[in-house]
C-alpha cells in the first residue's frame, strides 16, 4: 500500500510539472516551469546582439527584448551548454570596435574561465577560448561586463566588474587599468543603453559614469519600471505601465538633430531618441538630460555643437557631447539671445547653414547666428499656421501640426508656396507610436 501511495504521488507530481500554464512567464511550450522577470529577478548578464535585440540572462534562461516570456538560452546560443553545465552566464557584452570589423558587434559571453564569441547567433571559429587568451589581465569568474566606446571612455574599452573592482580593458593596446568603486553595488550585470551605463543588482539598477563611477540622481531604481513591460509598474504612466500612444494622438513640441547625429523629439515633459533604432525607442523625462527644463520646451534647434532650447521667453544653450551641459550664464531672454520677441512655435537650422528659421504663427523669421548682436534679418509669410515643430535635414523641411506633417524641399519652396501640401500622417516607423 505504501509503495502504491508513493507511486500515485510521483505520478501526480509529474502531471503537475507537465501541466500547461499561460505564457505570461510561468510555463513554456515544453511545459517546464519558467521564471517571470516581473517577479523581480537579479540578472546574470545583459547584452544586445548585432541587430539591437537585448538579451537578459538568468540561469539557463533568457528573455529577448523588453517584453515576452523566457526561453532556454541554449535555443539561441546552443554551444554555451556543450562545454558548460553550470546553467548560467557570468557576463556578456556587445563589442564596439569599429576599427576592427572582424570583432565589431560580436557578442562575448564569459563562463568561468572561458570566453565565447558569437555573431548572428553562430559561434565564431576557434571558440571557446581561455579568457586570458582573448582578454589578458582580466580575472575569471566575472560578475559583469559592458562595452565603452571612445568618446564615452578615453579609448574603445570594456569594463569588467568583479566585486567592487572595475578592470578597464583598452581594446587596442590590450592594457588593463583597475579601479575600485566601493560606492557602487556589486553589479551582477551591466548594460550600456542610449549612451548611458547601468549597474544591475537584485531587481534594481543604478546609473553610473563609466569613467569615474560617479552616480548622479536618485538611485537605485526598480528595473521592472524601465527595462521591461510589467503590469502596474512604470515610470511614465502615473498608474504604472508604459502606454504607447496612438499615432493619431501624437503632438510634438519640437524636433532636432545635433551635429553628432543624435535626433530627438520632444512632447510635454518627455523626449525620445529617434536615431538609435538598434537600442529601441523609449520615452524619458526631459529633466533626465536637461535638468533645468522642468516644464518642457516650445522649440529646439542645434547649431555649432550646441543645442538651443526655447521655453516661453527664455533660451537655454547646452554644450553637446556624451552629456549635455548648460553653458554658464544661461538661460537668457529670447530678445537678448536671438533678437526675437513673442511666443516661438518652432525653430530649425538646415544643413551647413548659419541661419535659424523661427516660426511664429504664419511668419518665418530668419536670424543670422554668426552676427553680433543677433537680429531678425528677414521676415516671410508661411502658407499654414499653428505649427508645433519643425525639422530640416537632407530630405528637406518637415513641419509638424498635431498628428500630421507637411514636407517641403527647402526654405524657398516653403515661403513661396501659397497653399499647404497634402498633409501626411505621423507613423509608427517615425515615432514608435501605435498606428
Which residues does 326 contact at the CB level (< 8 Å), separation at least 6?
290, 292, 316, 317, 318, 319
Looking up cell 546560443 gives 77
* Inter-residue contact 57 to 72 (CB < 8 Å): no
Task: Inform me whether the pLDDT recorded for 23 exceeds 50.
Answer: no
What mean pLDDT value characterizes the chain? 85
Gap between the Cα atoms of 328 and 75, Å rounded: 54
| Alpha-carbon gap, residue 56 to 60, rounded angstroms | 11
Longest dimension (CA), the chain: 100
Question: What domains lie within the chain, and their CATH numbers?
Answer: 22-225 (2.110.10.10), 247-431 (2.110.10.10)
Q: Does position 119 have pLDDT exceeding 50, yes or no?
A: yes
For 277-301, b where at least 16 C-beta lie within 10 A, e where not — what string?
eeebbbbbbbbebbeebeebbbbbb
Q: Which residues contact 353 (CB under 8 A, 6 or more apart)?
A: none
At 210 the pLDDT is 96
Closest CA to 46 of 163, 200, 165, 222: 200
Residues constituting the chain: 435
Q: Strands, DSSP E only, in 97-201?
A: 107-111, 114-119, 122-123, 129-130, 144-148, 157-162, 165-170, 176-180, 189-193, 196-201
- Pairing mode, strands 314-319 and 332-333: antiparallel
Q: Which range is most confident: 104-108, 325-329, 421-425?
A: 325-329
pLDDT in tens, 49-92: 888 889 999 998 999 988 889 998 888 887 776 655 556 899 99
> Which pairs with CB-CB distance under 8 Å and at least 24 residues apart come from 186-189?
186/143, 186/161, 187/143, 187/144, 187/161, 188/42, 188/43, 188/44, 188/143, 188/144, 189/43, 189/44, 189/45, 189/46, 189/56, 189/57, 189/91, 189/144
* 135 three-class SS: coil
Vertex 426 angle, CA 422 and 430, to 5°: 130
Instruction: Please identify which residue in the block is written with the cell numbers 505520478.
Output: 11
Residues 6+ apart with CB under 8 A from 83: 114, 128
Cis-peptide into 342, omega within 30 deg: no
Of 66, 429, 36, 7, residue with least CA distance to 242: 66
Contact (Cβ atoms closer than 8 angstroms) between residue 117 and residue 106: yes
pLDDT single digits (tens) 159-179: 999 999 999 999 999 999 999
pLDDT at 42 over 80: yes
Is there a contact between 184 and 199 (Cβ–Cβ < 8 Å)?
yes
pLDDT in tens, 297-353: 999 999 999 999 999 999 999 998 777 899 999 999 999 999 999 999 999 999 889
Q: What is the mean pLDDT of residues 118-132?
A: 92
Amino acid at each position: 500500500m505504501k509503495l502504491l501511495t508513493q507511486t500515485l504521488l510521483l505520478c501526480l507530481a509529474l502531471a503537475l510539472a507537465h501541466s500547461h500554464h499561460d505564457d505570461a512567464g510561468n510555463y513554456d511550450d515544453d511545459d517546464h516551469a519558467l521564471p517571470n522577470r516581473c517577479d523581480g529577478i537579479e540578472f546574470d548578464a545583459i547584452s544586445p546582439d548585432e541587430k539591437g535585440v537585448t538579451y537578459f540572462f538568468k540561469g539557463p534562461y533568457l528573455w529577448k527584448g523588453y517584453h515576452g516570456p523566457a526561453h532556454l538560452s541554449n535555443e539561441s546560443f546552443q554551444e554555451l551548454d556543450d562545454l558548460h553545465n553550470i546553467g548560467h552566464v557570468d557576463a556578456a557584452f556587445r563589442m564596439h570596435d569599429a576599427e576592427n570589423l572582424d570583432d565589431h558587434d560580436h557578442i562575448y559571453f564569459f563562463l568561468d574561465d572561458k570566453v565565447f564569441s558569437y555573431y548572428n547567433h553562430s559561434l565564431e571559429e576557434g571558440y571557446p577560448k581561455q579568457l586570458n587568451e582573448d582578454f589578458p589581465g582580466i580575472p575569471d569568474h566575472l560578475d559583469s561586463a559592458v562595452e565603452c566606446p571612445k568618446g564615452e571612455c578615453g579609448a574603445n574599452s570594456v569594463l569588467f566588474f568583479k566585486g567592487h573592482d572595475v578592470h578597464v580593458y583598452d581594446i587596442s593596446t590590450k592594457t588593463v587599468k583597475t579601479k575600485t568603486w566601493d560606492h557602487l553595488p556589486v553589479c551582477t550585470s551591466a548594460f550600456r543603453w542610449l549612451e548611458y551605463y547601468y549597474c544591475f543588482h537584485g531587481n534594481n539598477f543604478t546609473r553610473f559614469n563609466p569613467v569615474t563611477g560617479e552616480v548622479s540622481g536618485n538611485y537605485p531604481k526598480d528595473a521592472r519600471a524601465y527595462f521591461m513591460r510589467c503590469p502596474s509598474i512604470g515610470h511614465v504612466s502615473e498608474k504604472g505601465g508604459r502606454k504607447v500612444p496612438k499615432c493619431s494622438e501624437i503632438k510634438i513640441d519640437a524636433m532636432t538633430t545635433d551635429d553628432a547625429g543624435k535626433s530627438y523629439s520632444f512632447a510635454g515633459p518627455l523626449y525620445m531618441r529617434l536615431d538609435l533604432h538598434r537600442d529601441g525607442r523609449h520615452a524619458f523625462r526631459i529633466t533626465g538630460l536637461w535638468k533645468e527644463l522642468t516644464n518642457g520646451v516650445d522649440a529646439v534647434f542645434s547649431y555649432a555643437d550646441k543645442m538651443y532650447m526655447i521655453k516661453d521667453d527664455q533660451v537655454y544653450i547646452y554644450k553637446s557631447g556624451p552629456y549635455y551641459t548648460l553653458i554658464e550664464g544661461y538661460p537668457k531672454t529670447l530678445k537678448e539671445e536671438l533678437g526675437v520677441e513673442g511666443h516661438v512655435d518652432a525653430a530649425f537650422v538646415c544643413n551647413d547653414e548659419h541661419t535659424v528659421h523661427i516660426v511664429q504663427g504664419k511668419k518665418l523669421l530668419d536670424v543670422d547666428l554668426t552676427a553680433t548682436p543677433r537680429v531678425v534679418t528677414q521676415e516671410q509669410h508661411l502658407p499654414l499656421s499653428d505649427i508645433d515643430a519643425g525639422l530640416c535635414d537632407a530630405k528637406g523641411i518637415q513641419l509638424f501640426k498635431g498628428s500630421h506633417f507637411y514636407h517641403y524641399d527647402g526654405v524657398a519652396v516653403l515661403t513661396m508656396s501659397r497653399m499647404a501640401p497634402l498633409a501626411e500622417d505621423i507613423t509608427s516607423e517615425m515615432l514608435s507610436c501605435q498606428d
